[in-house]
Chains A and B, each alone.
Chain A
Amino acid sequence: MTTDVGRGHRLRETMTASSDRLVARWGELAAGAVRGRVTTTELERDFHEMFNSLLPVVGDDGSALHETEYTEIKALLANLSRARARQGFSPSETASSVFALKQAVYELTENDEDASLFRDLLAFSTLVDALGLWTFETYAAAREEIITEQSEQLLELTTPVVKLWEGVLAVPLVGTLDSARTQVVMEKLLEGLVDSGSQHAIVDITGVLAVDTQVAQHLLKTVMAARLMGAECVISGIRPQIAQTIVALGIEFGDIVTKATLADALRHAFLRDGVEVVRRTPAAGS
């Protein structure tokens, strides 16, 4: 910057002079791009701050984004795209908010014939492009964060260990099983067995869409681990297609008890525990 003091000076002056008008126009243009999901007032408030931190770097062509003078504007843009990512905006909608500034500036300088201003504008355009790309990057990073968070939440949410009866625990599995999830299921189930002193565990896979060799392997491991601890583990809810897949893949369940439905598995546990369920015959007349 020190070698080229005059660069961008003219444009910066123009922009500073009509900053309020520029920000207002910018907000107006950007509001059109996000289709009214953010109010113009909100946009203008954000843009005003951004505009002020952008002014010092006007005249640069954005090729040195890692320099310290960009720290502030980069942080602001990162905040913007993170907020947008959480609100469910698309990346183009987010970036076009930034690109809208270009049009606002062009409109401002349209009637100016100054050649140096034209050069400045070209550099400015490159700068805004670079900043736009930066929002893309932070947007992607923010999305990644959200996805990781959600998958962690999902992991917690979808693996409840429920107590069906005194001494009988069940884990209804829903969705797809991968190593990470099976690990969580296994740990939760085994801990549940210890905590409640249950001797029977039922792993219900009615909600599992597909079983491959790996998933089967995980299931077998869970059953074996439960057995090592002195509990009995039954797998229930094997659907017809899955039964076919298991046989076609040649997976051996060995001496592991499998039942068609959760009810059958519960009955099996009752039988092993010597619990009898009796239907009372309704009293005469009722």
Chain B
Amino acid sequence: MERVPILSIGDVLLVSIQIDLQDQSAVALQEDLAEKISATRATGVVIDISAVEIVDSFIGRMFATIASISRLFDANTVVVGMRPAVAITLVELGLSLGEVRTALDLERGMRILRSLRADGKGLLGGQDGSVVAAR
């Protein structure tokens, strides 16, 4: 089973999915991500799916699940780079991504996370990233 690497950039975790996800890998990713968020106290998760060409309902639901998990750690989730075909498939499947935010590319995704942090939405960190209140 292939594991999807999780990279840490500052207080953001970057997950770039470069393979056709199997259900097992998806479950493993959820577990790994939960561990990693808790360990690094990340405030944002970016999932880059620009290389993903095929999705099914299980993978579609995974995004929502990851977002819900991250929310419990007070981190925002942004899915970036979704391809048109994938978007159409998800809509046809009737899946909504719940509270997942989406962005056209990685850059915009990072910008969204930055602005969310600046707004202090759902975060207790200060402007400079220092923790001003106990989490």
- Interface of A, secondary structure class, is helix
10 cross-chain pairs, A with B, having the tightest CB-CB distances, nearest first: A190-B84, A230-B102, A230-B103, A225-B87, A228-B87, A230-B104, A225-B91, A229-B82, A224-B91, A221-B91
Q: In the complex, which of the residues B86, B87, B88, B97 has the most CB atoms of chain A within 10 Å of its own CB atom?
A: B87
Chain B residues with CB under 8 Å of chain A are 79-80, 82-84, 86-88, 90-92, 96-97, 101-105, 108-109
A193 at interface by CB-CB < 8 Å: yes
User: Distance in Å from the Cβ of B66 to the closest Cβ of chain A?
Assistant: 15
Chain A residues with CB under 8 Å of chain B are 186-187, 190-191, 193-194, 197-199, 221, 224-231
User: In the complex, what residue of chain A is closest to B92 when comparing beta carbons?
Assistant: A221
User: Given known contacts A187-B84, A194-B83, A221-B92, is B102 in contact with A228 (CB within 8 Å)?
Assistant: yes
- Interface of B, secondary structure class, is mixed
Residues of chain A within 8 A (CB-CB) of B101 are 230
Docked-complex contact A194 and B109, CB < 8 angstroms: no
How many interface contacts (CB-CB < 8 Å) are there between A and B?
55
User: Distance in Å from the Cβ of B100 to the closest Cβ of chain A?
Assistant: 9
Docked-complex contact A197 and B91, CB < 8 angstroms: no
Docked-complex contact A193 and B104, CB < 8 angstroms: yes
CA distance A186 to B89 in the complex (A): 12
Residues of chain B within 8 A (CB-CB) of A226 are 87
Residues of chain A within 8 A (CB-CB) of B105 are 197, 230
User: Given known contacts A187-B88, A190-B84, A190-B88, is B102 in contact with A227 (CB within 8 Å)?
Assistant: yes
User: Distance in Å from the Cβ of A190 to the closest Cβ of chain B?
Assistant: 3
Residues of chain A within 8 A (CB-CB) of B84 are 186-187, 190-191, 193-194, 225, 229
Docked-complex contact B104 and A190, CB < 8 angstroms: no
Docked-complex contact A228 and B97, CB < 8 angstroms: yes
Q: In the complex, which of the residues A193, A198, A226, A229 has the most CB atoms of chain B within 10 Å of its own CB atom?
A: A229
